[in-house]
Amino acid sequence: MSGLDPSPIMQVGMGFFASKTLLSAVELGLFTKLASQPLTGQDIAAALQLSPRAVPDFPDALVALKFLERDGDGPEARYANTPESGFFLDRDSPAYIGGILEMANARLYRFWGDLTEALRTGKAQNETKVSGEPLFATLYADQARLEQFMNAMSGISAGNFKAFAGAFDFSKYSTLCDVGGATGLLACTVAAAHPHLRCTSFDLPKVVPIAMRRIEQTGLTDRVTAVGGDFFTDSLPQADVITMGMILHDWNLATKKALIRKAYDALPPGGAFVVIETLIDDARRENAFGLLMSLNMLIECGDAFDYTAADFAGWCREAGFRAFETVRLTGPSSAAIAYK
Ligand SMILES: C[S@@+](CC[C@H](N)C(=O)[O-])C[C@H]1O[C@@H](n2cnc3c(N)ncnc32)[C@H](O)[C@@H]1O
* Runs of H (alpha helix) within 168-226: 185-193, 208-217
Q: Return the pLDDT at 265.
A: 98
Rounded to whole angstroms, the Cα distance separating 304 from 41 reads: 44
15-28 and 57-64 helices, crossing angle to 10°: 120
Active-site annotation, residues: 249
Could you report the per-residue pLDDT of 113-149, keeping only the tens digit for each? 999 999 999 999 999 998 888 888 888 998 998 999 9
What sign does the dihedral 56-61-63-67 (CA atoms) show? negative
Question: Among the atoms of ligand 1, which is closest to the Cα of residue 150?
Answer: 27
Fold of 7-88: Arc Repressor Mutant, subunit A (1.10.10)
- Cβ-based neighbours of 154, under 8 Å, separated by 6 or more: 99, 182, 183, 185
Q: What is the mean pLDDT of each run of 10 residues along the chain (340 residues)?
A: 91 98 98 98 98 98 98 97 98 94 96 98 93 87 91 93 98 98 97 98 96 96 98 97 98 98 98 98 98 98 97 98 97 97
Q: Is 309 helix (H, G, I), strand (E, B) or coil?
A: helix
Residues 140-161, buried b or exposed e (16+ Cβ, 10 A)? beeeebbebbbbbbbbbbbbbb
| CA-CA-CA-CA dihedral for 192, 224, 274, 135, to nearest 10 | 120
| CB of 96 closer than 8 Å to CB of 88 | yes
Q: Return the pLDDT at 131.
A: 84
Find out whether the beta carbon of 88 lies less than 6 Å from any atom of ligand 1.
Answer: no
Mutate to test the pocket of ligand 1, among 247, 256, 305, 330 (most ligand atoms within 8 A of CB): 247
Q: Return the pLDDT at 1.
A: 63
| CB of 292 closer than 8 Å to CB of 118 | no
Ligand 1 atom 24, closest CA: 180
Find out whether the beta carbon of 204 lies less than 6 Å from any atom of ligand 1.
Answer: yes
Q: Return the pLDDT at 135.
A: 87
Find out whether the beta carbon of 190 lies less than 6 Å from any atom of ligand 1.
Answer: no
Q: Where in the chain is the domain with CATH 1.10.10.10?
A: 7-88
CA 95–ligand 1 middle distance (angstroms):
22
Find out whether the beta carbon of 300 lies less than 6 Å from any atom of ligand 1.
Answer: no
Rounded to whole angstroms, the Cα distance separating 270 from 338 reads: 10
98-339 classified as CATH 3.40.50.150: yes
| CB of 245 closer than 8 Å to CB of 186 | yes
Q: Return the pLDDT at 53.
A: 98
Find out whether the beta carbon of 232 lies less than 6 Å from any atom of ligand 1.
Answer: yes
Could you report the per-residue pLDDT of 58-115, keeping only the tens digit for each? 999 999 999 999 999 999 999 999 999 999 999 999 999 999 999 999 999 999 999 9
Cβ atoms within 10 Å, residue 222? 9
pTM of the predicted protein model? 0.94
CA 14–ligand 1 middle distance (angstroms):
33
Asked if omega into 75 is within 30° of 0 (cis), the reply is no
Rounded to whole angstroms, the Cα distance separating 42 from 233 reads: 56
Find out whether the beta carbon of 247 lies less than 6 Å from any atom of ligand 1.
Answer: yes
- Cβ-based neighbours of 50, under 8 Å, separated by 6 or more: 28, 44, 58
What single letter denotes the amino acid at residue 260? I
